[in-house]
Amino acid sequence: MNPQQLAYFRRKLLDWKESILRESAGTLETLKAEPLREPDITDRAASETDWGIELRTRDRQRKVISKIDAALRRIDSGDYGYCEVTGEPISLQRLEARPIATMTLEAQERHERDEKITRDE
């Protein structure tokens, strides 16, 4: 991968991380500003369900941030864009779609098949 491509993916990853952090900050501000005060028990339950979904989403995004940070470290170390299983280059199309990818599409599919077989046993 050439320096321009690495710079492109670094910027893409940093922008993605910044977007997630902005959304998280907005969620926290909303949680602080709008405590659950619905007098109706059904409305309160609906609000609690909505907030539960929102918080689970934020937790998933927290995990994505750690993957973004790992991808940025791989850019710094020169390992970005190479499959951690086979050592082959990951296609630019795959990295464009999933910049945190650590495996080629074929290796990922093999990994998922093996994982499914293990779970089924």
pTM: 0.77
| CA proximity to 71, closest of 3, 4, 32, 17 | 17
Domain ranges of the chain: 1-80, 82-121
Q: What angle do the packed helices 41-77 and 3-33 form, to 10 degrees?
A: 160
**pLDDT digits over 9-44, tens only?**
999 999 999 999 988 887 777 666 666 666 777 877
**pLDDT digits over 94-113, tens only?**
999 999 999 999 999 999 98
The architecture in CATH of the region 1-80 reads Up-down Bundle (1.20)
